[in-house]
Copies of this chain bind each other. A is one copy, B any other.
Amino acid sequence: MTIALPALNDLGARARDLPGLTRIETHPRDVATPIIVDMLRSVYPHDQVFGDFCPVQGYVDAPPRDLYNWLSNTRSLEEWTYSLRGFRETDEPGLWIAQDRLGDSTDIYTRTIVNPHAMTVDYHCAWDQGRHLWMIYLMRVVDAQVVLDKPGSVVLWNNCRHPFYDENPYPDTAPPERPVWVGDFWEMFSAGHRLELANLTAIAEYRHANGLPLTPDWMRS
């Protein structure tokens, strides 16, 4: 027996005709199914999948808590990213500076904000300056036992296309005549991040399979 709840009562008559609203009461299965099927494609254009957001995710055969602890350490980026190297903490606690070797003489600043309960790991970064960290790498480690019925981890990763990718808001902080801007790479982020997720996976799985701590000793000190 279904209990009638006052869902959307506050919308009044709009509950039945609000644009973008498709619920079984107004769109029974025989109406909604063709709408849904019509949204499916055999292939999707790159921009539809990776235009405004850049979701990548995958399974990692390593324990989720250990994986989370490694990723929580800003210096893990020294290991699994393609080009971030030479991390050292600035005078401001928790704010790190490194080189992004994708750029020429390019500093990158990072502050890592984590939540050990939700196992979210957010890298707040920016090229050139550390006052406004607008390049946000949103990651999360999930227990694969819960979501895939097997030991290990799932890593979810997403980036949002911040408008600064299109134009450097702090050109005065850039090295003179640098030929590239980080946003020039947005179109390649999906592939670049899949490559870096493969790095992360290869390193974590090797360490786990060989009985090495996921977070190496030097990173703990």
Interface of A with B (CB < 8 Å)? 1-11, 14, 18-24, 27, 29, 32, 35-37, 39-46, 49, 52-53, 55, 57, 59, 75, 78-79, 81-83, 85-88, 99, 101-102, 115, 117-118, 120, 124, 134, 136, 138, 140, 142, 144, 146-149, 154, 156, 158, 160-164, 187-188, 190-192, 194-195, 198-199, 201-203, 206-207, 212, 216, 218
Across chains A and B, which 8 residue pairs bring their CB atoms closest together, nearest first?
A2-B86, A118-B118, A20-B202, A39-B191, A55-B55, A43-B43, A115-B118, A147-B160
Given known A-B contacts A2-B86, A55-B55, A99-B2, A188 and B40 have beta carbons under 8 A apart: yes
The smallest beta-carbon distance between A58 and chain B, in angstroms, is 8
Q: A36-B188, A43-B45, A115-B117 are in contact. List 19 more A-B contacts (CB 8 A).
A: A1-B86, A3-B86, A3-B87, A4-B86, A5-B78, A6-B216, A7-B78, A8-B79, A11-B207, A14-B206, A35-B195, A37-B191, A43-B46, A118-B120, A134-B146, A134-B149, A138-B156, A148-B162, A149-B163
